[in-house]
Amino acid sequence: MSSPRFMKSNILSTLLEIMVIIGMVFVAVLTCVLPLIIDRVLWFTGRIVTNSTDRLIYLICIYLFLIGFFVILEAVRRIFHKVRRGTPFCSTVPRCLKVICVALGMIALVVLAKYIFLPGLLTVLIIAGCLIISLCAFVMAEVFEKAIAIKDENDLTI
């Protein structure tokens, strides 16, 4: 019989995995309809774009951002799946964390490129946030790799 704490954790990870899947569906739908709603999105954010080149730059940056975000959500979904199955210390988790690290680095580069062509006030903070979270994901991947090595060593000694 499983403990209530484990069941509560399992329910929470299941709910989080469902939320991640809903986020992935939302990102996929947004990616499909983005060319149709780009002017409204830019108007909502306070940007009025009259130049078609600026519109194209925004469109490319948003697409790359959404692709990176989708990759991050897929990696997080895989991690939640491993946690829910009770096998968080496997080689998949550090790999997923490194994928998150690379995707966040890509998002930071996209936002930096957008900043070079179309500067904005919060852009530097977004770049810094992406880089800091990317470094945290990399450190977590290294910690998980060490934990897996220790777990494998302990499994062999018993």
Scan for tokens 């996209």, then name that residue: 110
The more confidently predicted of residues 120 and 67 is 67
Q: Would the pTM of this model clear 0.85, i.e. be above it? A: no
Give residue 47's pLDDT: 65
Domain locations in the chain as residue ranges: 4-157
Is residue 107 a contact partner of residue 65, using CB atoms and an 8 Å limit?
yes
HSE, side-chain direction, 13 A CA sphere, residue 56: 3
* Average pLDDT for the chain: 85
Is residue 134 a contact partner of residue 104, using CB atoms and an 8 Å limit?
yes
Q: Taking residues 97-116, report their average pLDDT.
A: 93
- Is pLDDT at 16 greater than 50 in this prediction? yes
Residue pLDDT, tens place only, 127-146: 999 999 999 999 999 999 99
pLDDT category at 46 given cuts 50, 70, 90 is low
